[in-house]
Chain A
Amino acid sequence: MQQTPPRWAHWLLTQLHPDNTLEEVEGDLDELYTYWYRRAGPTQAALRYLLNVVSVLPPFVLRRSNNKQQYEQPTNMAMLSNYLKIAWRNIVLNKAFSTINILGLALGMACSLLIFLWIQDELRVDNYHANGPQLYNVLERQFYDGKIRTGKGTPGLLPDELKKLFPEIVYAAGFTGSDAQLTFAVGDKAVKETGRWAGADWFNMYSIPLLAGTAETALNAPNNLAISRKVAATYFDTPQQAIGKSIRIDNNRDYQVTAVFEDLPDHASTKYDFLLNWQDCLERNSWMKEWGNNGPRTRIMLRPDANVANLEAKMRFLMRKLDKKLNPKQFDIQLFLQPYQEAYLYSNFENGQQSGGRIEYVRLFGIVAVFLLLIACINFMNLATARSARRAREVGVRKVIGARRGLLIGQFVGEALLLTVLALGIALALVFLLLPAFNLLTGKHVSLNLTDNTFWLILLGMTFLTGIVAGSYPALFLSSLNPVRVLKGSLKFGSGARLFRQGLVVFQFGLSMLLIVGTIVVYRQVNYIQTKNLGFDRENLIYVPADGELGTKYETFKAELQQMPGIQAVSYMGELPINLGSSTGGVTWTGKDPNVNIQFTQTSVGYDFVKTLKVKVKGRDFSKDFSTDTTNYLINEAALQRIGYKDPIGQPLTMWQRPGKIVGVIEDFHFQSLHDPIQPLILRLAPNATQTNILVRTQSGQTSQAMASLESLAKRMNPKFPFSYQFADAEYENLYKSESMVGELANYFAFLAIFISCLGLFGLAAFTAEQRTKEIGVRKVLGASVSNIVGLLSQDFLKLVLIAIVISSPMAWYVMNRWLQNFSYKIGIEWWVFAIAGLLAIGIALLTVSFQSIKAALMNPVKSLRSE
């Protein structure tokens, strides 16, 4: 029978007894305990055990020395731990250099990681649907006026027609192209909600989880309404309770809630809080039922085995059949498909062909990430090779003892990897700290997802790549040294290594220069957009949707509003003045070439339009004094140019078979994005203000009074609708969000690039100054002044930076010129941009180097020359 001694006494033994005799003593005492237990019982045994344990504890016990020295066979582990030890000692020995290396790498890696997270997030957008690969958008190529334009708008009847015609198409749904703001009322509660209209197949096509209701019945009747979880929570207790309840929309029609869907995720490119049925959309917008009008989007889902190219070929000329009025000689339409998952990143088309979109920013930032990492790697390479003289002895000794070259390469690459791993730790901490600010800047919800395998894979890949790129040159260089020469002490490095280092510095500063020029150009372009005179005054302009009574009793509203403080002028407009989208070819005039189809942008406006928007006009504004103005037109200068009248005022113009006269020509103003040139525009008078936006011009400096007037009046006249408004200037800036974001990000990246480059330069300068200590001493003794020596040390580096500037300027010009091609209205890239960027680079480089060179120049020559 085995007896176990008191556990705590045993524990004491294992903790305190010398390791090399523990096993035998433990065993012996166990055996003795069993012996005592049999002889004298448990108490005695325990006591004796304790006593004997104490007798073998320090200080009583003797230590068995390993005097039978078994020489340990050196294993791979031993060598590895030696490498590790040496690497660590090198890091600690040169604290300044290590800090520069690790800091540079950490900054570069943190930046790359942030960019990687951003790219990953961009790639995820719209990429989460189960049927993703089968989903397509139907797009139009329009051929007219000698141009090819690509449009996302299609006729409203197209989705159902496609589904009928082609067996490859499982589902098809229409989808309105812009957000609708409608007022939802349940009982006394009325809130504006944002949403769209969509076809009945919608929830079958897209993976949007339904909390209540079914995909089949969600949108299959005209008064059906699908709402998001958020909206359901606003009006009802639970999603289930919402089903079957009615919601009054815009105070004139009741809709039944037939489905509640989960709030759309961050990765949805279009977000909506409700969906209405497609029949309802066609009823509200009867123009959509005509084949000649384009507006809503067409989305389809194909069978998994469908041949996409085949289908595309079959539907290419379909519009010629469907639209009887289509005259292909004047105006031709070809249908084509774009994979739904690509639509977000590849949204731009030029001459009917895909020409980029956000993917360009994704690529751009990807390249920037690589650049930043490369700059940091170069720091490492430079400093490691510069200081190679110090490691040369070690290499010599190792080689003499028998290290082969492969092992040495392994050692130095390993050191680089060790440093990279340290840097990675810091980088991760930085990313963690910076993420909230980064999200704020990019408007994303990126998080460090540690359970994501690709994230770890990328991390691993990045570390390895960085370590190997950074470590490869020093490793190859150091391992190639000849041990005999190294150990004899007559080590002379050829000019090859120095030239290579200089090349790297040029490369680094070239990249930095590229980024600085890029930043300046983007900043100036964004600034140009933000301050550009659009042709109308966007300051002090407010949009108010003409909901309910505001539309029907507009005249009263206008009359009362104009009496109130802070209000200058009031008018209305069918769309928003910065974003007119609707165009038509149905315009004729005397002398028009029947074979040419010119598309005119058109919208409807109210009286006092010119005064409210503050545009310049030749002729006159629409006026109540002329009853015929209801069929008259205002055109812009671009339209006049296409029409070609010499003296346009009073000349006839017919739009949509409505003959009228041109009463005024307004000076071109920007009603679309500055990416596009100003299109010809025709304005007609809207019969009433319903379904329009009321434009309110306020007196400058009196915005708050004006807002108070507006709100009180709107609430009094229109109590069923919540008061809502937008500021024209804020909306305008929203149009260029991505440009502003790119500008701001570019700022940070350029700063980081130059900072990391300077870290490297700083280290290199320190090294050179240290190497030339004796030379400087001798020069000083012979009478050189401090400024002489600073000049001497700085000029080497300045030369490199100058070369970098000369090489990278044309490249920067080329790249930025291409970016500016995206804008029809843009700044020129002037020479002084390069001058500023160059001076900046030189200035910063000089500052960095001079710190070291001044320190070296001020050194007492006695100190540097005393020894030897």
Chain B
Amino acid sequence: MRRTYLGEFEEVVLLMVAILDGEGYGVTVSQALEEHTGRIVTFGTVHNTLIRLEEKGFVRSELGGATTERGGRRKRLFRVTALGSRALQEIQQLRQDLWQLLPPNTLRLGGV
């Protein structure tokens, strides 16, 4: 099974990039993380994760969109690559398959 390993946090960040749909960069990704998951992480964590994702080929980036509020500096905007979206879908698929295998009542017992 030749699949690149995707960590839990990586997966969340990759999802955020996908959600932001071309508007994803350091700030928006970390704000989205906070907003949707309530997790507050340092910027460095997000930054490193994005770099790692790009190295693994799940996202690609380009520089652009300089605005005055950031002193005219360019952003590095991320998009999910084909490999990235397949990885997300595969994870989703795997989870669904696994949920199917779950005996009924198992979770309901311990869950509520």
Which A residues are closer than 8 A to B by beta carbons? 2, 21, 23-32, 34-35, 51-52, 54-57, 60-65, 67
Contacts and interface: CB of A to CB of B under 8 A. Distances in A.
A286 B31 CA distance: 111
Nearest to B60: A68
29 contacts: A2-B69, A24-B74, A24-B76, A26-B73, A27-B66, A27-B75, A28-B43, A28-B47, A28-B70, A29-B43, A32-B26, A32-B27, A32-B30, A34-B69, A35-B27, A52-B42, A52-B43, A52-B44, A54-B44, A55-B42, A55-B47, A56-B43, A56-B47, A61-B44, A62-B47, A62-B51, A64-B51, A65-B55, A67-B55
A248 B26 CA distance: 96
Which among A24, A30, A51, A65 has the greatest number of chain B C-beta atoms within 10 A? Answer: A24
Contacts of A23: 63, 73-74
Closest 5 CB pairs of A and B: A55-B44, A27-B73, A28-B26, A55-B42, A27-B70
A64 B42 CA distance: 18
B25 A24 contact: yes
B51 A31 contact: no
B7 to A, nearest CB: 14
Given A24-B25, A30-B70, A30-B73, A55 B51 contact: no
B110 interface: no
A422 B72 CA distance: 44
B48 interface: yes
A23 B55 CA distance: 19
Interface in B49-77: 51-52, 54-55, 63, 66, 68-71, 73-76
Interface string B9-36: 0000000000000000111001100000
Contacts of A63: 51
Interface of B: 25-27, 30-31, 42-45, 47-48, 51-52, 54-55, 63, 66, 68-71, 73-76
B47 A25 contact: yes
A57 B66 CA distance: 23
B69 A51 contact: no
Contacts of A65: 55
A57 to B, nearest CB: 8
Contact of B42 (A21, A28, A31, A51): A51
Contact of A60 (B48, B55, B71, B76): B48
A62 B25 contact: no
Nearest to B47: A56
Contacts of A61: 44, 47-48
Contacts of A34: 69
Contacts of A28: 25-27, 43, 47, 70, 75
A433 to B, nearest CB: 53
A27 B51 CA distance: 17
- The main secondary structure of chain B at its interface with chain A is helix
Contacts of A24: 25-26, 63, 73-76
Contacts of A52: 42-44
A55 B45 contact: yes
Nearest to B77: A24
Contacts of A31: 27, 69-70
Contacts of B44: 52, 54-57, 60-61
A350 B101 CA distance: 126
B51 A32 contact: no
Contacts of A21: 47, 51, 76
Which among A21, A27, A54 has the greatest number of chain B C-beta atoms within 10 A? Answer: A27
Nearest to A25: B47
Contacts of B66: 27
A30 B27 CA distance: 10
A244 B48 CA distance: 92
Contacts of B45: 55
A32 B41 CA distance: 13
Contacts of B71: 26-27, 30
B29 to A, nearest CB: 9
A60 to B, nearest CB: 5
A164 B58 CA distance: 105
Contacts of B48: 60-62
A799 to B, nearest CB: 71
Nearest to B72: A27
Nearest to B45: A55
Contacts of B52: 62
A25 B69 CA distance: 14
A24 B28 CA distance: 13
A34 to B, nearest CB: 6
A636 B70 CA distance: 104
Nearest to B51: A62
Which among A30, A57, A62 has the greatest number of chain B C-beta atoms within 10 A? Answer: A62
A57 B48 CA distance: 11
A35 B42 contact: no
A32 B70 CA distance: 9
A47 to B, nearest CB: 12
Nearest to B31: A35
Contact of B43 (A32, A62, A64, A67): A32
A17 to B, nearest CB: 10
A728 to B, nearest CB: 87
Which among B54, B55, B76 has the greatest number of chain A C-beta atoms within 10 A? Answer: B76
A450 B68 CA distance: 48
A79 to B, nearest CB: 29
B110 to A, nearest CB: 37
Contacts of B26: 24-25, 28, 32
Nearest to B30: A32
Nearest to B76: A24
Nearest to B29: A28
A863 B110 CA distance: 89
A23 B76 CA distance: 9
A51 B41 CA distance: 11
Nearest to B44: A55
B50 to A, nearest CB: 9
Given A24-B25, A24-B75, A61-B44, 16 more contacts: A2-B69, A21-B51, A23-B73, A27-B66, A27-B70, A27-B74, A27-B75, A28-B26, A28-B43, A28-B47, A30-B71, A51-B42, A52-B44, A55-B45, A55-B47, A63-B51
